[in-house]
Amino acid sequence: MNVLSLLEARGFAPVRVSGSRGGEFASPCPGCGGDDRFRSWPEEREAGRWWCRRCGKSGDAIQFLRDFEGLSFGDACRALGWDPGAAVHVPGPAMVPRGKRPWQPVEATEPPSLWCEKAGAFAAWAAERMEDPAAGGEALGFLASRGLRPEIVRAAGLGWNPKDQWRPRPAWGLPEERKPDGREKKLWLPAGIVLPVVRDGAVRRVKVRPSEAGKVPKYFALPGSSMESWTLGQGPAWLVVESELDGLLLHQEAGDLAGVVVLGSANIRPDAWTYGLLKQAARVVVALDFDAAGEKESWRWWAHEFTGARVRPVPVGKDPGEAFQAGVNLRAWVAGVLAEPGG
């Protein structure tokens, strides 16, 4: 059974409208009607995924049965032939290993104070370059294409580094390193968009989105950066996302509804302080990137560690930036997830 057969069982005849993600089908919404506002992808996740463009609800097969048939989580699992004790209500049910040593949060490692000082100065310098129309225009254009308005770019202190620079590592408080040929290894400040992560007034992580695509990873964290989570705004509800730019976008669009926690990468767990914040939260919404491969482990971890968490990838695209570009109203989406009934 998948979302398509669940729709057919209700008398709908979903029509295939696109080949995206294994096939996209359109039908009326079991909740709010219409003709083709309800979209489902039966090949995604364990038993399909769905999203209503009108009421903004979305979810997996379990969520379908909870929302439209009024079933409990356990009954929904059983209706799908799954063991509720083993099913994790995430992109789809999956086994969580039991009896493993419980995970413990760890304190964030602080960069050396000299590093914070130098990183802060570099970020401030780069922020000034961003204001120069000739130099920063390309960067502002890229950020605008990701939905970020100039005000939030300015408030977050994003910057532009026009060309590659190198510094002696000890000048930033980092230990000396040698290349295999014995020469000194320097600290590289790549040309590109500079994203400073600030906690308690100090720059503790700097990521650069290099301007020459393909040369290096899409985002480069300067050596010495803390891997702690970045928090934007405040609770009691929190949205958890992977990337800094997606975090800023959600903060811009829905900052009045929820705070944002940026992990930096799907596989980075929250540091002890952030973990405590999330444990006390009224609501945690986990919106990690929806990538086909390799990310399921992270989804499971969140569902397992935060039992009340709503694990909801954005309804379209792989991350909030793509959803925004596809025309999704992120504020309405966040409001809809937060308004879902149930614990």
Q: Which residues bind Zn ion (CB under 5 A)?
A: 29, 31-32, 52, 54-55
Q: Do the Cβ atoms of 123 and 196 come closer than 8 Å? A: yes
Q: How far is the CB of 26 from Zn ion (least distance, A)?
A: 12
Q: How far is the CB of 31 from Zn ion (least distance, A)?
A: 4
By three-state DSSP, how is residue 341 classified?
Answer: coil
Q: What residues contact residue 113 under an 8 Å CB cut-off, 6+ apart?
A: 173
| Bond before 162 cis per omega within 30 degrees | no
Angle at 111 between CA 109 and CA 115, to 5 degrees: 175
For residue 249 the two structure tokens come to 């976008």
> Do the strands 259-262 and 237-241 form a parallel or antiparallel pair, or are they unpaired?
parallel
Which uninterrupted H or E stretch holds 117?
helix 113-131
Q: Which of 9/144 has CB closer to Zn ion? A: 9
Q: How far is the CB of 55 from Zn ion (least distance, A)?
A: 3
Q: Which of 29/232 has CB closer to Zn ion? A: 29
Cα(152)–Cα(158) distance, integer angstroms: 9
Q: How far is the CB of 1 from Zn ion (least distance, A)?
A: 21
Phi, psi of 177 (to 5 degrees): -135, 150
Q: How far is the CB of 194 from Zn ion (least distance, A)?
A: 42
By three-state DSSP, how is residue 17 classified?
Answer: strand
Q: Which of 33/150 has CB closer to Zn ion? A: 33
CA distances, 95 to each of 59, 281, 296 (Å): 18, 26, 11
Q: Which of 28/224 has CB closer to Zn ion? A: 28
Q: How far is the CB of 329 from Zn ion (least distance, A)?
A: 14
Q: Which of 16/54 has CB closer to Zn ion? A: 54
Q: How far is the CB of 54 from Zn ion (least distance, A)?
A: 5
Q: Which of 10/54 has CB closer to Zn ion? A: 54
**Burial of 49 (C-beta count, 10 Å sphere; 0-12/13-18/19+):** buried
Q: Which of 51/302 has CB closer to Zn ion? A: 51
Q: Which of 32/272 has CB closer to Zn ion? A: 32
Q: Which of 61/278 has CB closer to Zn ion? A: 61
For residue 79 the two structure tokens come to 């209706």
For residue 201 the two structure tokens come to 């007034």
Q: Do the Cβ atoms of 298 and 289 come closer than 8 Å? A: no
Give 241-268 as a DSSP string: ES-HHHHHHHHHHHTTT-EEEE-SSTTP
Cα(173)–Cα(208) distance, integer angstroms: 19
Cα(227)–Cα(273) distance, integer angstroms: 13
Q: How far is the CB of 37 from Zn ion (least distance, A)?
A: 6
Q: How far is the CB of 282 from Zn ion (least distance, A)?
A: 25
